[in-house]
Structure 1
Amino acid sequence: MSASTSGETAQEFYGRWARLYDLIARRTPGIPALRQRAAAACRLERGDTVVEMGCGTGANLPYLREQVGPEGTVVGIDFTGPILERARDLTAEYDNVHVARGDATQPPVDEDVDAVLATFVVGMLEDPAGAVDDWCDLVGPEGHVVLANAARSDEWYAPPVNTVFRAIVVLSTPPTTKLRYENDPHLRLDSKIDAAHARLRERSRAVADESHVFGVVRLTGGRIGP
């Protein structure tokens, strides 16, 4: 993926926290069920090819493999070396799951793709709507693109949830030593996520929208139109 902060800073940051990130990605209550739902939203069939943009430590890859079966292909792409190595180790038992270091905005993919999944990724991109356009072009008509991202909740109990969410965003935005920002990171994140999900809806002929984890996580799946 292409981070909105400097590439080296972001890679060092996420690389340093690879093990903790993996623990959070796999063990946070509600997140495994969300990952399973995201994989299902890709509408994959046995033998299909699916690419995950920004696969992180590979938490989604086994769920995607379940969908395509042993005859399908799963490709995970991420730009951070230590995180990608952990994804490679955790999926080593699957001979049809491959991980590659690369940029989600310029994925090193040269085969037909049936679906693209991107979870908690578009908020780190400079042009999230443009990236969604590229992913839609990659799968082509009748292919599927699925986005899952964390943003402020709109539920009635949102105020305390959003307070916690803002703190998490600030702490997970490199450099974490900054206490004040000219523009709040959580507001920038909301704007990018809104743009990405709106673009997917524009490009899709069939759309499913869901919210999860106290309304903080938005899941949008689309079947791309002609």
Structure 2
Amino acid sequence: MTDETAQEFYGRWARLYDLIARRTPGIPPLRRRAAAACRLERGDTVVEMGCGTGANLPYLREQVGPDGTVVGVDFTGPVLERARELTAEYDNVHVVRGDATSPPVGEDVDAVLATFVVGMLEDPASAVDDWCDLVGSGGHVVLANAARSDAWYAPPVNAVFRAIVVLSTPPTTKLRYENEPHLRLDRKIDTAHARLRERSAAIADETHVFGVVRLTGGRIA
């Protein structure tokens, strides 16, 4: 999938994705938990890679307070416009257009959050390395991603998960893939979370939403 195709796809469905991101049962508490896992203090600076329509940004702003800085990075114009609309009341929340693998941000970043992003990247391990380097030793990186569940009740949950992945992978008209998108997504997520564990001195691993969502937070060594 080219960047242009992805931007067109996610741009077209920006408002629907925003509704899903904010209203899906179990997801708002997950977003609050992911923000808390960044271990932010008042006045800190946090960057969200692939912020989408901005569903996480208010939770991050709660953590850093009015004197901190929240930056959301995404590459899709219509998605960012939605994020700007929904965070307009905050003067310390900024959304910028850019690539999560080479974000247009400088130094002095205390934490990086990336939710439901690494599965879209060509080289997720390299992106995680870059984010770890950005925050430096003592900073925090938090990943939250959806992958197949390992729970005892996994088969029906995973069937629904596969359907969602197929429907949200451009083009949505395909019913059969040579390389199943949900399996490809699993591999990318496993790789990204494993790399974060390798780079971290302290690690927290959690599962949410019937075991489908994996959250890993790390304090970088």
Q: Same fold (TM over 0.5)?
A: yes
Which runs of structure 2 are paired with 1:142-153 in the superposition (5 Å)? 142-153=138-149
Identity of aligned residues (%): 89
Once the two structures are superposed, residues 55-103 of structure 1 have per-residue CA deviations (whole angstroms, 9 ceiling, x without a partner) of 0000000000000000000000000000000000100000000000000
The residue type equivalent to 2:194 in the other structure is: A
Q: Are positions 1:160 and 2:156 aligned together?
A: yes
CA-atom RMSD in angstroms:
0.4
Residue number in structure 2 paired with 1:208: 204
| Gaps in structure 2 of 5+ consecutive residues | none
Number of residues of Structure 1 aligned to a counterpart in Structure 2 = 221
Moved over 4 A (4+): none
Residue number in structure 2 paired with 1:93: 89
Shift of residue 154 of structure 1?
Answer: 0.3
Which of 35, 49, 63 aligns to 1:39? It is: 35
Once the two structures are superposed, residues 130-182 of structure 1 have per-residue CA deviations (whole angstroms, 9 ceiling, x without a partner) of 00000000000000000000000000000000000000000000011111111
Residue number in structure 2 paired with 1:72: 68
Which runs of structure 2 are paired with 1:72-221 in the superposition (5 Å)? 72-221=68-217
Shift of residue 111 of structure 1?
Answer: 3.2
Shift of residue 110 of structure 1?
Answer: 1.4
The residue type equivalent to 1:118 in the other structure is: A
* TM norm structure 1: 0.97
CA distance in 2, matches of 1:98, 1:72: 11
The residue type equivalent to 2:215 in the other structure is: L
CA distance in 2, matches of 1:32, 1:88: 19
The residue type equivalent to 1:143 in the other structure is: G
CA distance in 1, matches of 2:173, 2:99: 26
Q: Partner of 2:141: helix, strand, or coil?
A: strand
Which of 37, 41, 55 aligns to 1:59? It is: 55
The residue type equivalent to 2:24 in the other structure is: T
The residue type equivalent to 1:165 in the other structure is: F
Further displaced range: 108-117 or 212-221 = 108-117
* TM norm structure 2: 0.99
| Gaps in structure 1 of 5+ consecutive residues | none
Contact 2:112–2:131 (CA under 8 A) maintained in structure 1: yes
